[in-house]
Every structure is written in C-alpha cells, then in structure tokens.
Structure 1
Amino acid sequence: MTLKVLALLALVAAVIASPQSYGYGAPGPDFGPAKYDFNYAVNDPPSGNDFGHQESRDGDFTQGSYYVRLPDGRLQTVNYNVEGDSGFLAEVNYEGQAQYPSQPRAYTPAPTYG
C-alpha cells in the first residue's frame, strides 16, 4: 500500500513539474502595422462643455491633439506625437485670459425625486 501511495505521489509531482504548454490552435492572423484615424468634439454651451480629440496613427508614428475649455474660460490645446519608442512629445498652448468672477456662482442642489 505504501508503495502505491509513493508511486502516486511521484506521478503527481512529475505532472506538476512538467512545463505547461498553452499554445493550442493555430496562431492568430497578422494584421500588420496599426493604421487608424479618429476624432470627436463636444460643444454644449448651456453646460459649458467644450472639448475634443483627434488622433491618427500609421505604423509606429502617432500624432494628434486634444482641447478643453477650462473653468477659468481659457482654451487649453495639446498637440502631441509619438514615434516608435521615443515617448510622448507634447506641446501645450492656452488661448484667452483667465477670468474669475467677482462673486462665486451660487450652488443649486440637484432635484430629488421620490
């Protein structure tokens, strides 16, 4: 009986120690280098939302820009590009002058239902 237990433990140890292979099935398709172009924009004056993003990529080269209307009224624009492993290179610009109201806006709580 002891010999059977030892043989079973040796078999379990051999199975656990064997290298695991998860490479079943055929390899996936090669889609080639990435290539895309997209953009979106939101401009909703009642809510104050004004932002957008544009980006294009061709292989290892990516370039784009995004912008957002800041709470102080300025427009922040970021132009960027990435080539291979060079990292993210960005140029940040601001348009307009920061404006701060003399009186803070009054807080209006959201309506409750129920």
Structure 2
Amino acid sequence: MAFKFIALFALVAATSAGYAPLAYSVHHGQPLVYASAPVVTKIVEEPYNANPQYSYNYGVSDALTGDNKSQQETRDGDKVTGSYSLVDSDGTKRTVDYTADDVNGFNAVVRKEPAAVVVKSAPVVHAAPVVHAAPVAHVYAAAPAAHVYAAAPVAHQYVQTVHHY
C-alpha cells in the first residue's frame, strides 16, 4: 500500500513540474529618482571674540563609592589656567596644576600628597567590677561501693583426635 502512495506522489510531482518555469526572467528598470529642491543656504559668520573668557569649577565627594575629585579652570584670552585633583586607589591625593598659552604651550605640574592620617583614639577601659569570693561548699565523699566477687564458671571439653592411617 505504501508503494502505491509513493508512486502516486511521484506521478503528481512529475505532472506538476511542467508548470514550473525553466528560467526566471530578470527585469532591470531605471529607478525613479526624486530630487529635492535645492536648499538656499546662507552662511552667517559668528562675531569673533578677541578676548574669550570663562571660568568653571566642580567637586565630587561621594562617601559611598569613595569618589573624591575636583576641578577648576579659567580662561582669559588665549591663556588657560586650572587644576584638578583626585584621590588615587592607594589613598594619596594627586593634584595637577596646568597652564596653556601661545608662548609656552601646555605645562602641567603634578603633586602627590600622602593620605590623610586617621588617628584613632584609644578605647576607654573601664575598671573590672569587684568580684566577691564564693561561699565555700562542703563536699561529702560518697560511700564506698560494695564489691562482689564471684568465680567464673569453668567448663572443660575434651575432643579426642581420630587418626586415620
């Protein structure tokens, strides 16, 4: 019976194969090009500031994460001065003072300060409380145990050896 189904499916596949195209056609067409209208651009020049100036500073002190840092910077014309500091992982504080100008370029001075010494106060020691002597307890010796002596039963059994020659 299974052979009949296989033969039937093979016959259906062979007859429907005639409807499949032998080659696929490819159509290449010119894509439509949409061009937007040209945008009118007008270049507006910013006014030149011959003596730019700014100043800022910030600081972070987060006891939860241990993040401690600060920075400040000032610009007056072409000269920039500033500094920043942070606490390194070893506990030392690193401070960088820098300047930048047209004549000397960028210069920085790095300083490391030791970690702040934490002085722990000695713990308060209280006097030990006075201990009174415990009352003397009278100890009574136990009565001696009665010893019972009994002889162990003796059983003798003799087995005679049988010799076979």
Coarse TM-score class (shorter-chain normalised): 0.5 to 0.7
* CA-atom RMSD in angstroms: 1.8
Q: TM-score, normalised by structure 2?
A: 0.42
Deviation at 1:74, TM superposition (A): 0.3
Superposed displacement of residue 46, structure 1: 1.8
1:83-102 alignment runs, 5 A limit: 83-84=101-102, 86-96=104-114
1:53-73 CA-partner distances (Å, limit 9, x unpaired): 000000011100000000100
Which runs of 5 or more residues in structure 2 are unaligned? Answer: 1-40, 116-165
State the secondary structure of the residue aligned to 1:88: strand
Task: Flag the structure with more relative contact order, 1 or 2, with Cα contacts below 8 A and sequence separation at least 6.
Answer: 1
| 1:37 match | 55
Read off the aligned partner of 1:65 and give its amino acid letter. Answer: S
Alignment match, 1:27? 45
Q: Which residue of 1 aligns with 2:10?
A: none
Number of equivalences: 75
Q: Distance in 1 between matches of 2:86 and 2:43?
A: 47
Render the CA deviation track for 1:30-68: whole Å, top value 9, x for unaligned. Answer: 233220000000001121000010000000111000000
Cα deviation for residue 91 of structure 1 reads 0.5
More strand by share: 1
Output the CA distance in 1 between the equivalents of 2:58 and 2:96: 15
Distance in 2 between residues matched to 1:82 and 1:34, nearest whole Å:
14
TM-score, structure 1 as length reference? 0.59
